[in-house]
Amino acid sequence: MELIVAAMLFLVSGTHHAPPIQDGALKYGDLFTKKHKECLLKNLWHEARGETSSSILWVAQTTLNRVKDTKFPRNLCGVVYQKGAFSWNSTKLKYKKVKPTNNLEFRAYEKIKVIIQVTEVLYLLDIDITQGSLYYHTTGVQVYWAAHKQKINTVGNHIFYRDVK
């Protein structure tokens, strides 16, 4: 509910900035296949499952922004499994299916599935709430590359960045 209310307020505020549609833009049907949504779910599970809905949505849109950027692979699975992109995918977790084992994990899993649907809708509406974010890290770590990026926002326990223009 928190996410739906936040999305509605955001949409009516008129403060969002949609990136321009570029030649060779990805087709919706190619982007959000069952396989690619499963890759996004896995990334959100390992990167942000304990976060607020807003923070999970920012991670989802940042992951999607990479697909739209020519520096990254052109599909969600390619981005999620790009070597060195996310620490969890260099471990055995890469091969395990997401399976909630208790009520708390089941609720997180269901929330992530809804956020993926919201991410799809925002993509169709050409809305990027992250203002072009391509990178993030948790607030508990310092990363060498942050000094060379433009900080956009801190949402939950994640700090989001884009390339310096």
Q: Kindly write down the DSSP assignment for every residue of 12-73, as one continuous string.
A: HHT---PPPPPTTPPPHHHHS-HHHHHHHHHHHHHHHTTS-HHHHHHHHHHHHHHHHSTTS-
What's the predicted TM-score (pTM) here? 0.83
pLDDT of 14 higher than 90: no
Mutual orientation of helices 34-48 and 103-124 as an angle, nearest 10°?
120
DSSP 128: -
Query: In order of start, what are the domains of the chain with their CATH numbers?
Result: 27-129 (1.10.10.2520)
pLDDT in tens, 62-98: 999 999 999 999 999 999 999 989 888 887 777 778 8
pLDDT in tens, 18-58: 444 444 555 656 789 999 999 999 999 999 999 999 999 99
**Of 70, 81, 75, which is closest to residue 32 (Cα–Cα)?**
75
- Residue 2 has a pLDDT of 55
